Amino acid sequence: MPSAAVTENFISADEIRARFSSAMSTMYRAEVPQYGVLLDLVAEINSAAQQRATKESGEGGDGRLSVERHGAIRLGTARELHTIRRIFAVMAMAPVSYYDLSSAGVPVHSTAFRPVTKDALAANPFRVFTSLLRLELIADASLREEASELLRRRSIFTARALALTAQFEQDGGLSDRDANEFVQEVLETFRWHSAATVSRDVYERLRNAHRLIADVVCFKGPHINHLTPRTLDIDAAQREMPLRGIAAKAVIEGPPRREAPILLRQTSFTALEEPVIFVDESCAGAHTARFGEIEQRGVALTRKGRALYDRLLEKARNQADSGEASSDRNCFEEGFREFPDDYDTLRREGLAFFRYEICAEVTSDVEGLDLEQLVASGIVAAVPVIYEDFLPVSAAGIFQSNLGDHQAQAYEIGSSQALFERALGANVMDEFALYEAEQQASLEQLAIQLKSAGRAR
């Protein structure tokens, strides 16, 4: 139990996360110059979008938007996943949701480490989509064992990073100096290493099984494979990327463009071909894994709203597969016309989450008014709760577009959340429960404020 004097010198987890996010962005910009082009592009688009609207629905302020990022890493073993959970805990990032990407032909299952409270998200909403390779999906038994042995031999964390994590767990925090050292030590896990840990022959055999398998198994660590800024207009970004010399993927993943954005839309540029030195060669080969991505986030859907979204998505896919539409994109856009496209309807039909706040002085008797009347009168504002999580189909689509379409496979083994959580050493949090709690907390706070205003009159 730390003393009060020591506790007072601890840096907040939000501050450590902000420092790490900033350091990661600086490192990735140096390693992948096109990421810097993306940042400049997104900043211009966001500035233009904010000039068109005096206030972005659901946005917690310009400060959050300018620093917002999500990254992605792919791990190879249960031990690595368990340790990264402890490391992210130092930054108040918890595992939220389970994503099975094997159903979309990618041999991993995943979670997203992120802050989970409203205040922490407002301070810095950094997220890391973290995948664990499913070795059991490698069909060749000898290759599977070889990959397993390669992963068993590596250590992706520095000794000092592990020591500082243990120190945090024992003391309950880190000092300013230790926090800075922690950030630099953990950054080493995410750094690109151009030297492979295997021969070209081993690399090629693993790559032939799946490119992602080679990316996870053949290197010293899980180099971050993309870092994603958030834009207010992803369609503008998609149009502009080719004009900046960036080869954008053909379509935007996620829902179609809407007046009231929902969930998550993502696009990316093609993975870089980077030089790699294999252990048996002095001349460089090539490896493609790291790419750039842009995202646009909308309102979080309730379970009812998500069920409608999933039903319409499945319907659009079936129509596209049967050739009932002129194009997959037209089929997709037409299929989602059934989904209400204004915030008020989404709210009243219980399809999306909202936070309720007093936005006008309470000058009349409000005791007899219900929530709908309070909103209609302008006394209370219903602010959309931003979706902080991910869509497995979109994630798989982004992965596949940068791995090569021919890599798509059908795996017979289904999802295994229990296996993932056993490796993680914890249960993943339910994203719907988090959004429900935020909405309910706002209603409870609203009731207190209204009661207090009534007494003051």
The 10s digit of each residue's pLDDT in 226-260 is 889 999 999 999 998 888 888 888 788 888 889 99
Domain match, 416 and 442 both: no
- For the chain, helix (H) and strand (E) counts, in that order, are 19, 13
Ranges 62-71, 92-101, 281-290, 332-341: which has the least confidence:
281-290
Same domain, residue pair 392 and 324: no
- Tell me what pLDDT residue 393 has: 66
Domain housing 319:
301-348
**How many domains is the chain built from?**
3
* 112 and 70 in a common domain: yes
End-to-end CA distance of the chain: 48
Q: Are residues 227 and 342 in the same domain?
A: no
Mean pLDDT of 365-378: 82
Encode pLDDT of 252-288 as tens digits: 888 888 999 999 999 887 777 788 889 887 767 778 7
Give the SS3 label for residue 267. strand
Quick one: 264 and 242 in the same domain? yes
Q: Which helix (H) or strand (E) holds 286?
A: strand 284-288
**pTM of the predicted structure, to 2 decimals:** 0.88
130 and 234: one domain? Answer: yes
Percent of the chain exceeding pLDDT 70 equals 85
Q: Which of 348, 375, 409 is the last residue of a domain?
A: 348
The verdict on 377 and 410 lying in the same domain is no
pLDDT of residue 100 exceeding 70, the answer is yes
Helix axes 159-171, 78-90, angle to 10 degrees: 50
The mean per-residue pLDDT over the stretch 398-425 comes to 68
Segment 116-160, tens digit of pLDDT: 999 999 999 999 999 999 988 888 899 999 999 999 999 999 999
Asked if residue 275 and residue 343 are part of one domain, the reply reads no
In three-state form (DSSP H/G/I as H, E/B as E, the rest C), the secondary structure along 8-39 is HCEECHHHHHHHHHHHHHHHHHHHCHHHHHHH
Is residue 283 located within the same domain as residue 149? yes
Give residue 398's pLDDT. 53
Is residue 144 located within the same domain as residue 230?
Answer: yes
Q: Do 260 and 358 share a domain, yes or no?
A: no
Regarding whether 213 and 159 lie in a shared domain, the answer is: yes
**CATH code where residue 250 lies:** 3.10.180.80
Inform me whether the pLDDT recorded for 351 exceeds 90: yes
